[in-house]
């Protein structure tokens, strides 16, 4: 490495060379940081994510529609279900039918996940093989 110490001559001489050493040092540090952090950020568990078919649900007369309100109340086709045991008994009666009717859950957007999760867990406990969720299409502006 060379260094210009300015021997002789006047002090008014303009130096037209740019010292790039600090720039190279900063770039090397950034390169090392990226090389260390990128592999850490890309290590994830490999899973196959489901593909959304986005098909409209066909409502049939024998389908069971469970509605969960914002305050956590559960309705079976517009009839209030009083407790977990009543819902479980009704679902067990439906689960033995051949073919098993679809169970569709309509959860209020303001409902807590716990309330809807308990309904899904009750469906699983009763032996319901397939549970659908009814949602609205997003409004286009």
Q: Cis ω on the peptide bond leading into residue 99 (within 30° of 0)?
A: yes
Closest by CA position to 72, among listed 120, 131, 119: 119
Closest by CA position to 77, among listed 59, 63, 89, 56: 63
How far CA 122 is from CA of 89, 118, 125, 134, in Å, comes to 10, 6, 5, 18
Q: Domain map of the chain by residue range?
A: 64-133
**Residue written as token pair 């309904």:** 119
Computed over every residue of the chain, the mean pLDDT equals 80
pTM beyond cutoff 0.75: no
1-52 pLDDT per residue, tens: 555 665 555 567 777 788 888 899 999 999 998 888 877 666 566 666 555 5
Handedness of CA 95, 101, 105, 106 (dihedral sign): negative
52-106 pLDDT per residue, tens: 555 666 666 678 889 998 898 999 988 899 999 999 999 999 999 888 888 888 8
Domain 64-133: give its CATH code: 3.30.420.270
> C-alpha 74: how far from its chain's center?
25
């Amino acid at each position: 490495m060379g260094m210009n110490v300015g021997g002789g001559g006047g002090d008014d001489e303009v130096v037209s060379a740019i010292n790039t050493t600090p720039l190279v040092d900063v770039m090397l540090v950034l390169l090392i940081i990226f090389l260390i952090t990128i592999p850490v950020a890309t290590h994830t568990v490999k899973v196959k994510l489901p593909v959304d078919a986005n098909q409209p649900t066909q409502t049939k007369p024998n389908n069971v529609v469970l509605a969960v309100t914002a305050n956590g109340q559960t309705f079976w086709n517009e009839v209030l279900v009083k407790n977990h045991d009543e819902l479980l008994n009704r679902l067990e009666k439906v689960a033995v039918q051949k073919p098993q009717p679809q169970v569709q859950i309509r959860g209020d957007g303001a409902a807590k996940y716990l309330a809807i999760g308990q309904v899904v867990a009750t469906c699983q406990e009763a032996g319901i093989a397939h549970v659908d969720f009814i949602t609205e299409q997003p409004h286009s502006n």
